[in-house]
Structure 1
């Protein structure tokens, strides 16, 4: 019997599903991140090597028994990224079919059940993909936190820190965010924020987003930040709808900001529904790992 593997290779964790041609999930392997941009090539290779070892030791499945692997990887944005990952699997001795996508594509497939519709992700970062009238994947956003990631947890956290320092200077009105952020970070004066801002990974700044969301109804600055994030995400969806040239499509939300915050979810849904009533917004059917496994199976006609 031949086997298939679907991989959700994220920036914080990696989930690998082992399946068969009957679309049955046999087992899963979980490990740390596999975004080589952040952890390096060697550590990325070690995770995939451990995956092969795990499935061999537990199920006696050799690499030659694996017909196809689909990897949805964080940080896969260009041909150079794809080639580097292909070389990793080649170095590990895997010679069969290998599909490599940005993890937003596998998230889209998992969320919508197939390569159709669209996905809008707002977590630490933000990105959207949709399938156009010709069946091609179309991307909007997701170009990194320095120039993009609009409407994301990072953007919300960054804007909160910006407004806190503007308030400290007297350039902006007072906000309860300073009290909440200082307590969370265990700091006592405003200037201690600066080393945190410039020495932190983007995840730590994104982790401040819930403080802003919970202050939406009690703090004007927080409300302005959240409303801007909603507007930015709406603009992404609006742009995507024009690019895919489809008016009535399924749109699934993804990422912690949209899936865990009912406030963000409801505000954005209302804005989209008011202008694009033919877009059908739904919760994801499944996750990125299952989407990757789906694509691995379909690559061999299942």
Structure 2
């Protein structure tokens, strides 16, 4: 057995809608094994697929353990884990997949925040296809805003920006607003003419609508005013999420805010707009890049749980 994998260990798992990332690590130091499998999000896959993928990631991370030794602690972060029924179901599936030892099921946002800040207090804003904001105070209290889904909200996200672009398109087509370059750019992106927009909208997936954010970014960079207004509104929406979480957490110390997700991961114009909007609200805000991936955040949480359990003689 490899010495790097022979001692006590913890598991951290980030269960997403498209893939699941698991990391195995000792009680200190870097991760020693990493595995990627299919989705373990109950809202994106059926129970059988979730169980199979959980079993696959556990087997990959515990392959050297025959008979299998229980990890000191496992943290599984999945979307929807704020609902008790989903937590119970994930625990059942994880146990049936052969996972032993201490198990904590929490939200994907919680492990993402822990990874993004390295376990420190802070606020994480994720803007990709959807949007959510999650924060943790120094006393470990947590708060969130957003994450209501594309029908109810997803403000400032790729979907929100893309939908706003389609709405501008139909207003311009009607003559209710002056036609700009964004009109033809959106039609080109969705590969139809104005008569086909209703049919496209009826069948388009969330990802297809969110993909129009790139069209809006390009149009704004070329000087299109409606596109620029869409981005400005999105930046304000994301800053509102941060302000809401900060108000729930309270405290007067400087804020650390981590920007993540496809729209904010790189130093582009939208990220700069969001940063500027947050700085307007609070001058001492510190904008940072994520320190680590969500699965590593789950590892850090598992280490904290293991340390507490060992301290109490569990």
Matched, 1:28 2:34: yes
In structure 1, the residue matched to 2:290 is: 284
Cα deviations across residues 188-247 of structure 1 (Å, max 9, x unaligned)? x12323233222321221111111112114211111111110111111111222111123
Segments of 5+ residues of structure 1 without an aligned counterpart are: none
Report the CA distance shift for 1:62/1:296 in structure 2 as closer, same or farther (over 3 A). farther
Q: Structure 2 matches for 1:92-131, cutoff 5 A?
A: 92-131=97-136
Matched, 1:205 2:205: no
Report the CA distance shift for 1:225/1:301 in structure 2 as closer, same or farther (over 3 A). same
Report the CA distance shift for 1:49/1:267 in structure 2 as closer, same or farther (over 3 A). same
Would the aligned equivalents of 2:124 and 2:258 in 1 still touch at CA under 8 Å?
yes
What is the distance in 2 between the residues matched to 1:199 and 1:80? 31
What is the distance in 2 between the residues matched to 1:47 and 1:178? 43
SS at the partner of 2:33?
Answer: strand
What is the distance in 2 between the residues matched to 1:61 and 1:246? 49
Shift of 1:183: 2.7
The size of the alignment, in residue pairs, is 300
Shift of 1:61: 6.1
What is the distance in 2 between the residues matched to 1:44 and 1:181? 37
SS at the partner of 1:299?
Answer: helix
Shift of 1:54: 2.2
Matched, 1:48 2:47: no
Structure 1 stretch displaced more, 147-156 or 61-70: 61-70
Matched, 1:215 2:219: yes
When the two chains are superposed, the root-mean-square deviation of aligned CA atoms in Å is: 1.9
In structure 2, the residue matched to 1:38 is: 44
Matched, 1:196 2:190: no
Cα deviations across residues 61-84 of structure 1 (Å, max 9, x unaligned)? 665332221112123332122111
Match of 1:75 among 77, 80, 83: 80
In structure 1, the residue matched to 2:299 is: 293
Segments of 5+ residues of structure 2 without an aligned counterpart are: 1-6, 309-314
